[in-house]
Amino acid sequence: DQQVKQNSPSLSVQEGRISILNCDYTNSMFDYFLWYKKYPAEGPTFLISISSIKDKNEDGRFTVFLNKSAKHLSLHIVPSQPGDSAVYFCAARRMNRDDKIIFGKGTRLHILP
C-alpha cells in the first residue's frame, strides 16, 4: 500500500512559468512533509519542508502548500529555471511516532527553454 503518491511521473514546464508538483498521502500520522530534489548521479538534496500544523511554507522561489483535509501537498516553483530540471521526491515523516520516512516515486521535471 503506497502511503505517499506522486501520480505524475513527469512534467514539462516553460522556463519562467510556474511549476506545480503534486503529492498525496494516506496516513494522518505524518507530522512533516518534505520535498527533495535529485540530479542524476547525486544524492537527493533537501529543498523545503512543512509541518503538519501549517498550510504553507515559502522559501525564495519555492512554496509548499498542505491541504490536510484532502491529504494533499504541492510544491510551487516560481519562476521555473533551467537548473530546476531534476527529479523531485515528496516524503513524509512520522517524527512523533516510529520516525519512519516514506518517499513517493518521484516526478521528473523538465524546464523547457
Interface with other proteins (CB under 8 A): 6, 32, 34, 36, 41-46, 49, 51, 89, 91, 93, 95, 98-106
Comparison of 17 and 97: residue with beta carbon closer to other proteins: 97
Rounded least distance, CB 22 to other proteins, Å:
15
Question: Which 3 state secondary structure label does DSSP give 84?
Answer: helix
CA distance 76 to 50: 13
The set of residues, in sequence order, having a beta carbon less than 8 Å from that of 43 and lying 6+ positions away, is none
Residue 67 CB, shortest distance to other proteins, in Å, is 19
Measured from the CB atom, the residue of 27 and 79 that comes closer to other proteins is: 27
Nearer to other proteins, 36 or 80 (CB): 36
Taking the C-alpha atoms of residue 23 and residue 35, their distance in angstroms, rounded to an integer, is 10
- What is the full DSSP assignment across 6-19? ---SEEEEETTS-E
Q: How many CB atoms lie within 10 A of CB 41?
A: 5
- Least distance (Å) between residue 77 CB and other proteins: 19
CB of 14 to other proteins, least distance (A): 26
For residues 66 and 91, which CB has a smaller minimum distance to other proteins in the complex? Answer: 91
Rounded to an integer, what is the distance from CA 41 to the centroid of its chain?
A: 20
